[in-house]
Amino acid sequence: MDSGRESVRGQGPASGGTSVRAVLIDIDGVLTVSWQPLPGAVEALRDIREAGLGVALVTNTTSRTRASIARTLADAGFAVSADDILTAPAVTAAYLAEHCPGARCALLNSGDIAEDLGGVTVVALDEDECDGEYEGGGPAPDVVVVGGAGPEFGYAALNRAFGYLQRGARLVAMHRNLYWRTEDGLQLDTGAFLAGLEKAARVEAEITGKPSAAFFEAALAHVGAGADEAVMVGDDIESDVLAAQRAGVRGVLVRTGKYLPETHRDASGTPDHVIDSFAGLPALLAELREPGEPRESAQE
């Protein structure tokens, strides 16, 4: 019988026989779509916790705070708290504090994430400006911070960001995802706009969320596990799965959310494992927790 699961022999340390102690899980497209739970996801997460594995929900979602995400998931039946969640905005705040201390940051984002940007001096992109200074006082922004795309990503806002970049502002982006899946289908995301800003201003964005190595390092520290003791589960083959594998973490691709056969086929690498949905993860983890057990080769 076809189990809907493929396992391949990876090339890095993540494919070795070390037992799994922790699971890093993307949310959108893996556990939920438009915040509605995917079939079997609630039960699968419960089984993973009961197996004694560490869990971190790692997401590039930039429209909600960690607390808001936790409440929404709990209402949907998932046994999670804000402490289980690591978001791109939270990692971005830590990045800005380390690399741009005291900087004035112009934020272009859809959604209220102020709670997760503690310590960051945020100025609105639409504030009045005159001769390189805001009318309210103070210099123009030092950093343009780009979050998740939405209606706010109109011409005026993007052009203002472009102007700051031309004057020397740094460009920091929480992610460069091109699209995500909602109940209405695929929707454009930050990457589609970020590429234009980079090319027009001749700058390269500093990425803080997935697929940056720093994000996965933060996630591993969050669960207290080494790279070879963790697996990453995602629907984005490049930003979730292959990026995790480059960081030494085993990658599991699910065929839900934004998954498309063509992006899987044309990807820059091969996932360690492919499963139909998150519901199939407990069975795969049970196998991976037995070191040295032979692993089935994928049949293409």
pLDDT, one tens digit per residue, over 224-256 is 999 999 999 999 999 999 999 999 999 999 999
Alpha-carbon distance values, 93 to 33, 69, 168 (Å):
26, 18, 21
- CA distances to 37, 172, 183, 247 from 24, rounded to whole Å, are 17, 24, 24, 13
Structure tokens at 299: 């049949």
Q: Count of alpha carbons within 13 Å of 203, Cβ hemisphere only?
A: 21
Spell out the residues 6+ positions from residue 168 whose beta carbon is closer than 8 angstroms to its own: none
DSSP 3-state helix, strand, coil percentages of the chain (rounded to 5)?
35, 20, 45
Which tens digit of pLDDT belongs to each residue from 78-135? Answer: 999 999 999 999 999 999 999 999 999 999 999 888 888 988 999 877 655 545 555 4
Continuous H helices in 10-75: 41-50, 66-75
Cis peptide before 141 (omega within 30 of 0): no
Asked if pLDDT for residue 137 goes beyond 70, the answer is no
Lowest-confidence range among 50-54, 134-138, 179-183? 134-138
Q: What is the DSSP letter of 115?
A: G
> What confidence category does residue 139 fall into, taking pLDDT thresholds of 50, 70 and 90?
confident
How far apart are alpha carbons 142 and 130 in whole angstroms? 16
DSSP state of 141: P
Amino acid letter for position 175: H
Give the number of residues written for the chain.
Answer: 300
Contact indicator for 273, 240 with CB cutoff of 8 Å = no
Question: What global pTM score does this model have?
Answer: 0.78
Under 8 Å between Cβ of 278 and 233:
yes
Q: Is 131 exposed, middle or buried (0-12, 13-18, 19+ CB in 10 A)?
A: exposed
Sequence-ordered list of residues with C-beta below 8 angstroms from that of 19, at least 6 positions apart, any chain = 229, 288, 289, 290, 291
